[in-house]
Each structure stands twice: as C-alpha cells, then as structure tokens.
Chain A
Amino acid sequence: MTETTSAAAPAKAPAAKFGGKGLNVGIVVAAIVTVAGLVLWGVQLSGGLVQTGMRNLDSWGLYITMFMFLVGLSAGGLIISSVPRVFGMEGFGGISKVAVWTSICCTVLAIGFVVVDLGQPLRLWELFAYSNLGSPLMWDIIVLAVYLILSIVYLWATLRFEGGKGSEKSLRVISVVALVCAILVHSVTAWIFGLQQGREMWHTALLAPWFVSSALVCGTALVLVVVVALRKAGYLELAQENVVKMVKLLGAFVLVDLYFFGCDLLTAGFPNASGAKVVAMLVSGPLAPFFWVEVIGCAVTAIIAFTPKLRTNPLIVAGALLAIVGIFCKRVQLLVGGFQIPNIDYAGVVTPYTATNWAGGMANAYQGMVYWPQPIEFGVVLGVVGLGTLLLLLGLKFLPLKPVEKPQ
C-alpha cells in the first residue's frame, strides 16, 4: 500500500496540527479500557452470566441492545460515503474515508457485543460448521461478515483509486453493492426480533424498514459529530454548506423514524386489544422515560435541522447527539419491551434464575423494568466501546484517511 500512503502525504501539510500527543494519549487510554473490559469479560465467563441482570424471563440485555445500536451506527458512515458516489454528488469526497472507517469500527463493535453476550464463545466455530440457514441470527452473522468485508474492500478501493489505480466505475459498483448490503444488514438485524411470533411488541412487518430509518438517523448523526469534531481538530475540511446538507438529511430521517413510530403505536393501540398493553408500557409504563427522551429528543433534532437560524455548529452537534441518544432509547424500549409483557403470567415457582426481582413472585418480577443491567455489564460494554475507540484512533493515526485532492 505504498502508493496510497504517498498519495496521502501531500494532504498532511495543511492538517499538520492534528494528531500528536493528544491522539497518542487517547490511544493509550482506549487500550487500557479495552484490556480492563477483557478482564471483566473473563470474570463474567468464569463466574457465570448470573452476575449480569439477565435471567430466564429477560434473557437478553444491554449487550444485545448495544448490538442493535451499533449495527445502526455503522450504517451512517457507509451511506454518507457511498450515496454521494452512487448518485454522483460532489463535495463529500473529503469525509468519505473517515466515514467508512467509522462504519468499519462500529461493525466490529457490533460483532463484539454479540460475542460477549454468548454463554459459550468457544463454540463460535459451530456457526460455520452446523449453520442453520433458516435462523435469522445466522442470516445476520452472514450479512454482517459480508458487510464488514465489503466496507474494508470499499475503503481499500477508495485508497487505490486516489492513488491513481482502478477505475471510477469499479469504485462506484463497489459503493452500490456496499449500500445495498448496508440496508440488508439493518433489515436482517430487525428480523432477529421482527420474525418472532412469541413477542407481541417485536412481531411486526414495520420493524425492518424502521430499523433502516433508525440506522440512518443515528448513522448520519454520528458522522456529523465526528466530522465537525475532526474539522475543528484540523484533520479535514468540509464546506459548511455540505454540513448543512447532512443536517437537513438528518432532519428528514428523524421525521421518517418518528412517523414509523407513530404508525406502529396507532396500529398496536387502535384495536384496544393486547397491543394496547404495549402502548401503555411505552407511554406511561416502566419504559416511559426512554420513550419520551426518544420522542422529544428526535423532535428537537428535527427543529434544529429545519430552522436555518438554529443551524450553528454547537446546536448541530447537540441535535446530532440528541438523535443518537434518542435512537439508543428506542433500542432499550425494543429490547426490554419484548420481555416486559409475559404471555403467561400465572403465579408459580419463581427462583433467582427466573428474574432479577424474583423474591416477590411473578407479580413482582414485572414491577418496574423486568431488566436492568448490573455493574459488570456496564464494565464489559465500556471495554468493548474502548476497543472500538482504539480501532478508530489507530486508523486515524496510521491509515491514510485524510482527504486528498480529487484526482482528475
């Protein structure tokens, strides 16, 4: 890859103030957090998943929430980088590589969160030896792997192209394929939940398009935050009008996402049958804080995005962060909500493995949220996020991701 590094070299001059000590400190801190996370994961595996807040009645928790969330975040980078290329839009070339690199890091993180959730990570090889191709989880593993490889190929092809090799046409073809794959990744992740006849809240055809829209929201928001920050740090340059374009795009995505939420709530609630429980749980039940943070946060983002006066850099970043937090809250609602309403709630024998709040029987198990993470889960999550940050910073330091002049 010598030709690519040499191609990137001239661009280093104007952005020389980026990097240096701060970046190195960041890398060291991220590495320490990663190692601490690995140690905690070891503790979790040896002492058992009983140390987490997950139990038989709420068999998934923060890890799978983070998995959903990170898959969503990973979309943005790839889409922001490939859409302009697919449709021949100008002006976004500068952030293309950083965006794809962010996307690659998020995908690695998403896979990491599935791995730390597994009871038997040493049996991961079975996924390839005994694949049940009918399982949505298997589809997701395949699509995620393809997505990761494609993102890397796309980044490599971009670098090659900038080094004067490869044709623009082939790069465009790769970007189209990567874009299609990005949309597939979100749909398939949604199907892990949406195809399950057992859980009222998850079982809806809307879930796949909704996951795509949520991914677009938090993905675009993440790229905005990263780009504005990197611009400030002097790593790259991007015209303000292009930032504004992205903000408007974010506003549109947020509105679509809220529209889907509205459709879903209406369809669930209107018959005033079992679905009304789902609506009540979200609007005024145990999940209400997450519901209202999402709805209000996303609405504020939309207002910032569509009011020209409010589109100042601090507010843009604040709006983007609100959107990211909002989508995270949505993931929490989806995950916990699936477990919060039992299909069979008759009183019976309850043990410490049934639910965290088991002592008061079935009736008490669902008081408040049926699941709340334990400290070790926050620690492991921090460790996995540390790994992602480490990758991101190492990429910024060692990979030629800085913008170069468009070779014409």
Chain B
Amino acid sequence: MSQKQYGMVIDLKRCIGCHTCAMACKVSNNLPNDIWWNRILTDGGPSMDTARGTYQHFTMDYYPLSCQHCDNPACVKVCPVGATYKDEETGIVRQDYDKCIGCRMCMAACPYTGVRSFNWEEPKYSIDFPVGDQDVPTHQKHVVEKCTFCYQRLAKGEEPACMESCPAQARHFGDLNDPASDVAKLIAEREHKQLLPDRGTNPSIYYLV
C-alpha cells in the first residue's frame, strides 16, 4: 500500500446529475472531441436522465464515473511496459502517454466499463487553441488515457477540477489513509459503497448512498 492513497467520496444524495464536473474535467484537461474521462451515468431507465419503475414508484440515481484509482488496480498488473502505473507517493493510477504502445490490454483488464479511453485517431478539438491547465500533457494519437485526479493540479497544491466546480458540493477529495481527512471521516460516518467490490480491486472512489 502506498503511504498516501488519494481518493474521492461522492455523495449520491447530493449529486443532481448536472454534468458540471464532466465539463470541468473536459476543459481543464483539454480533452479532445468525443472524449470524456468523467461521465455522469443514470441508474434508471434505458436512456440518460430517465427513471425506472412505475408511476409513484420511480427511482433514478446518478453515478459520476471515472477511473476508480484502485488500491489493487487490474490495469497496472497487465500493462507490458509499465505505461500505466501506481504513483508511489499518492496512490494515484497514472498513465504515461509517451510510453504507451497502444496494445489496449489495460482496457480489457479494467472492470469499470468505459473509464479508459483510447485516442482512435489524431486528437481533434472544437477550438483551435488549447484550453484548461497549461501543464496538462499533450494528448497523443493511439494511446490510452483516463482520469488522473488532475495530477497537474495536485502538484500545485490544488484539488481536481471536478471537485471545485460541483455546485451541489457532492464531491470530497483527500487521503483515505489519513483518519483526520474529510474523506476518511465521511466513510467512517456515512453509509457508502464502492463499485464492483467483488472484483477485488478496492477502488478509491466511494459513493455515499
């Protein structure tokens, strides 16, 4: 286990499904067209923002989904060149674009459907100048990428972009191994769940339910 394990606690009772965090992520990381590292999924009907059930018994929840920064990541084990790796200091699962050979083994390994994305062609952008953080690594064709917990921001002592912009303040970020941190306290106090716990990956994203 790393000394620190940065993680996120997302309060599903607060999330209003507004996709602001997804937009903040996209802009801050200068994501190319059609690429979303952070998506807000609807646990409800067959389409986005629809409910499941019958009249007076409808249910609908939102699951913001991005890389789970697992304590025991399936992707890191299978990468043949170590292009995806667990950062010793922070416990964050990172991705080295310059190293990635584009074999997509990590995408097959990751149980969390769709959090890893591949640049299937030369990245295209709607605006012809880069946006967001200046120190975001340049996106490359034919490599795998995903949420980095905004590593460039953490390095400057800031929090991930999705945290800052959430209007409902549903997101909390911090060191899960530090009992005094917000995230550790919330997990201790509130009922919570992790996604696909049966896969044994021990994700660092906790959902308060």
B45: chain A residues at CB < 8 Å are 347
Is A16 engaged at the interface, CB distance under 8 Å to the other chain? no
B170: chain A residues at CB < 8 Å are none
- Classify the interface of chain B: helix, strand, loop or mixed: loop
Separation of A339 and B120 alpha carbons in the complex (Å): 18
Interface bits B65-99 vs A (CB < 8 Å: 1, else 0): 10000000010011111100000000000000001
A348-B48 contact given A47-B121, A137-B103, A354-B114, CB 8 Å threshold:
yes
| A115 nearest CB across to chain B (Å) | 10
Interface residue ranges of B104-121 to A (CB < 8 Å): 104-105, 107-114, 116-118, 120-121
Of the candidate stretches B2-10, B34-42, B158-166, B178-186, the one touching chain A is B34-42
Of the candidate stretches A126-134, A228-236, A283-291, A392-400, the one touching chain B is A126-134
B35: chain A residues at CB < 8 Å are 351, 353
| A204 nearest CB across to chain B (Å) | 15
B113/A343 in contact, CB under 8 A: yes
A48/B22 in contact, CB under 8 A: no
Is A209 engaged at the interface, CB distance under 8 Å to the other chain? no
B142/A141 in contact, CB under 8 A: no
Separation of A123 and B99 alpha carbons in the complex (Å): 8
B195: chain A residues at CB < 8 Å are 344
Interface residue ranges of B10-48 to A (CB < 8 Å): 19, 22, 34-36, 39-48
Q: Of B39, B77, B105, which contacts A348 at CB under 8 A?
A: B39
B101/A124 in contact, CB under 8 A: yes
Separation of A338 and B40 alpha carbons in the complex (Å): 24
Separation of A353 and B34 alpha carbons in the complex (Å): 7
A353/B113 in contact, CB under 8 A: no
Separation of A60 and B108 alpha carbons in the complex (Å): 8
A56: chain B residues at CB < 8 Å are 107, 114, 116-118
Is B63 engaged at the interface, CB distance under 8 Å to the other chain? yes
Is A361 engaged at the interface, CB distance under 8 Å to the other chain? yes
Interface bits A45-67 vs B (CB < 8 Å: 1, else 0): 00111100011110110000000
Separation of A119 and B105 alpha carbons in the complex (Å): 12
| A267 nearest CB across to chain B (Å) | 17
Separation of A386 and B78 alpha carbons in the complex (Å): 31
A343: chain B residues at CB < 8 Å are 111-113, 196, 199
A29: chain B residues at CB < 8 Å are none
Interface residue ranges of A54-87 to B (CB < 8 Å): 54-57, 59-60
Is A39 engaged at the interface, CB distance under 8 Å to the other chain? no
Separation of A348 and B113 alpha carbons in the complex (Å): 11
Is B132 engaged at the interface, CB distance under 8 Å to the other chain? no
Is B189 engaged at the interface, CB distance under 8 Å to the other chain? no
Interface bits B48-73 vs A (CB < 8 Å: 1, else 0): 10100000000000010100000000
Q: What number of B residues sit within 8 Å (CB to CB) of A?
A: 54
A119-B104 contact given A48-B121, A352-B34, A353-B34, CB 8 Å threshold:
yes
A197/B117 in contact, CB under 8 A: no
Find the B residue at minimum CB distance from A141.
B80
Find the A residue at minimum CB distance from B40.
A348
A135-B79 contact given A119-B101, A120-B142, A345-B113, CB 8 Å threshold:
yes
A49: chain B residues at CB < 8 Å are 102, 118, 120-121, 142
B101/A344 in contact, CB under 8 A: no
B121: chain A residues at CB < 8 Å are 47-50
Interface bits A117-155 vs B (CB < 8 Å: 1, else 0): 111110110110011101111100100000000000000
Is B143 engaged at the interface, CB distance under 8 Å to the other chain? yes
Interface bits A174-198 vs B (CB < 8 Å: 1, else 0): 0000000000000000001101111
Q: Of A199, A361, A363, which contacts B108 at CB under 8 A?
A: A199
A346-B42 contact given A59-B104, A126-B99, A126-B101, CB 8 Å threshold:
yes
Separation of A219 and B79 alpha carbons in the complex (Å): 30
Most buried by A among B47, B108, B143, B195: B108
Interface residue ranges of A281-306 to B (CB < 8 Å): none
B81: chain A residues at CB < 8 Å are 123, 126-127, 130-132
Interface residue ranges of B164-201 to A (CB < 8 Å): 195-196, 199-201
Can you show 14 pairs from A to B with CB atoms below 8 A apart? A48-B122, A56-B117, A59-B108, A119-B141, A124-B101, A130-B99, A137-B78, A343-B199, A344-B63, A344-B65, A347-B47, A348-B42, A353-B120, A363-B46
Given contacts A49-B121, A137-B80, 9 further A-B pairs with CB under 8 A are A49-B142, A59-B104, A126-B101, A136-B78, A344-B63, A346-B44, A347-B48, A353-B120, A363-B47
Please list the 4 inter-chain residue pairs (A to B) with the smallest Cβ-Cβ separation, ordered nearest first: A119-B102, A119-B142, A48-B121, A198-B111
